[in-house]
Chains A and B, each alone.
Chain A
Amino acid sequence: MIKLIVNEINYEMKSIQRDWWNWIIPVVFFVMVAALFPLAIGNNPELLTQIASGIIWIAALLATLLSCGNLFKNDAQSGHLDVLLTGALPVSAILFCKIACHWLAFCGPLILITPLLGIFFKMEVAHIQLLIITLLLGTPILCLLAASLAALTINLENKNLLLPLLIMPLFIPILIFGTGIVLATPAEVSAGLALLGAMLLLSIGFLPLMTMLALKVGVN
């Protein structure tokens, strides 16, 4: 069983590796969106520093949405998904591994490049550190949520527009905590991080199951 799951992870990593340009695109997108804000708002350094965490979070949200929309596309086309759903392996566990691989490949680079953006916006080092921690806790939740809704909309024509519409309202609490923690007082920081962690654990527990149900509905 464990061996089969490890095989599954290997398969996933290989197919991500094969389409390496696919994970360059979200990073470029992320940096571009963040760069648009100073152009739109003006180059007032104080204002930009104040809203930097919000800008970076929204850019990360959009980039993740972009990459998660096609999470199951290749598997559905190749028939791999049908094999998974009808096979003997625990589907939700495999889906969890799949989403974890996806997070590592697509959100990992975003988080790695965040310090650079922080410097662009003249953020303090402590704030950049906090921002990275909130991104580390928050983006997996986003991936899990996006995966479950991507599974639901897998066969729909207008899924590229529908998916963000469905996810964004659900993702508001994480956005609030993710950006709020960065500028909060120390007592609020630890409470906020604990709450964000609790949301992550809750998502890890329930959303893979939800993704499995959604896949069964979506694939039909």
Chain B
Amino acid sequence: MFALFSRFISLKGFYQTTYKYLPFVVVAFLSLFAYGLFAGLFLAPADYQQGEGFRIIYVHVPSAFAAMGIYLIMAYCAILTLIWRIKIAAICMSASAGIGASFTFLALVTGSIWGKPMWGTWWIWDARLTSMLILFFLYLGFIALQSSIADNNTKDRAGALVALVGVINLPIIHYSVNWWSTLHQGATLSKFATPSIALSMLYPLLAMITAFFLFYVILLTLRMRNIILLREVYSDWVKGIAV
């Protein structure tokens, strides 16, 4: 167990080990994604209120899940970076930011496409939409900060501090935005009440959520492998690969 752990935690070990495991993840992702997409788009019944339009949740909900989950993963990596100076955690944090921002963007876009037929408008200043937009800004701030620092060590620690402050602030932002939307808006347009969801709708959704997570793992691994090569470009084992 510890041997496996230590192999993953060293940059060289990570690079060499993930090469073997990545195909399995890709296969799992493709099968889950294919099932989720097919079952979500064709097998699941149309919603009695929203009709066929509800099917966008099979992209929207998983990307919103991923957007928030990836920020939490980044914050966890930030703790590992700040306290134990684990290099691989810092690389994971940097590599996650871009993917997280993309998922947040996807969630915003699919949400607004869903909102057009359901709410009759592309965008309303709803609490959830606004929180998501702020999360997007947090990601962008993190990426902007990291991309403007050249030194790797400073980059990791500065990014970790910002990610931590962001994650502490995230619940405060969430609740204050909720308070704000009740204060200003009133219940003019509330979401359709969906107390329970039919199982034929739920299983594809769960499959899609897992598939999106696996997709994140695949992208993350590929990006981390790139960053490792860039950072270790002068070490012997990377030179060995290049030759």
CB proximity to A under 8 Å, residues B93-142 = 134, 137-138, 140-141
| CA A22 to CA B184, docked complex, whole Å | 37
By beta carbon, the residue of chain A nearest B169 is: A170
Residues of A with C-beta under 8 A to B180: 176, 180
Nearest CB of B to A156, in Å: 5
* Known contacts A148-B165, A156-B148, A199-B172; is-contact A169 B183 (Cβ 8 Å): no
Contact at B169–A173, with CB atoms within 8 Å? yes
Nearest CB of B to A199, in Å: 7
A109 within 8 A of B: no
Contact at A217–B141, with CB atoms within 8 Å? no
A101 within 8 A of B: no
How many CB-defined contacts (below 8 Å) exist between A and B?
A: 75
Among A28-36, A71-79, A160-168, the one that faces the other chain is A160-168
Residues of B with C-beta under 8 A to A149: 162
Quick one: which of A156, A166, A180, A214 contacts B179, CB cutoff 8 A? A180
B151 within 8 A of A: yes
Residues of A with C-beta under 8 A to B30: none
B50 within 8 A of A: no
B16 within 8 A of A: no
Residue-wise interface mask of B (11-27) relative to A, using a CB-CB cutoff of 8 A (1 in contact, 0 not): 00000000000000000
Residues of B with C-beta under 8 A to A180: 179-180, 183-184
By beta carbon, the residue of chain A nearest B166 is: A170
| CA A165 to CA B146, docked complex, whole Å | 13
Residues of B with C-beta under 8 A to A157: 148
| CA A184 to CA B138, docked complex, whole Å | 28
Quick one: which of B145, B165, B175 contacts A153, CB cutoff 8 A? B145
Residue-wise interface mask of A (179-220) relative to B, using a CB-CB cutoff of 8 A (1 in contact, 0 not): 010001000100010000001000000000010011001101
- Interface residues of B, CB < 8 Å — how many? 29
Residues of A with C-beta under 8 A to B184: 180
Nearest CB of A to B100, in Å: 14
Nearest CB of B to A185, in Å: 9
A44 within 8 A of B: no
Among B33-41, B153-161, B202-210, the one that faces the other chain is B153-161
* Known contacts A168-B137, A184-B183; is-contact A162 B145 (Cβ 8 Å): yes
| CA A88 to CA B120, docked complex, whole Å | 63
Nearest CB of B to A179, in Å: 9
* Known contacts A152-B158, A170-B169, A217-B161; is-contact A165 B141 (Cβ 8 Å): yes
| CA A152 to CA B141, docked complex, whole Å | 13
- Interface residues of A, CB < 8 Å — how many? 28
Quick one: which of B138, B157, B177 contacts A217, CB cutoff 8 A? B157
Contact at B134–A217, with CB atoms within 8 Å? no
Quick one: which of B134, B144, B161 contacts A213, CB cutoff 8 A? B161
A112 within 8 A of B: no
User: What is A's interface to B at a CB cutoff of 8 Å?
Assistant: 148-149, 152-153, 156-158, 162, 165-166, 168-170, 172-173, 176-177, 180, 184, 188, 192, 199, 210, 213-214, 217-218, 220
User: What is B's interface to A at a CB cutoff of 8 Å?
Assistant: 82, 134, 137-138, 140-141, 144-145, 148-149, 151, 153-154, 157-158, 161-162, 165-166, 169, 172-173, 175-177, 179-180, 183-184
Query: 4 nearest interchain CB pairs?
Result: A173-B176, A169-B137, A166-B141, A217-B157
Apart from A169-B141, A173-B176, A220-B153, list 13 A-B contacts with CB within 8 A: A152-B145, A156-B149, A169-B134, A172-B177, A173-B169, A173-B177, A176-B179, A177-B179, A180-B179, A180-B180, A192-B179, A199-B172, A217-B157
Contact sample, A vs B, 14 pairs, CB 8 Å cutoff:
A148-B165, A152-B162, A158-B148, A165-B144, A166-B162, A169-B138, A170-B138, A173-B172, A173-B173, A177-B176, A177-B179, A217-B157, A217-B158, A217-B161
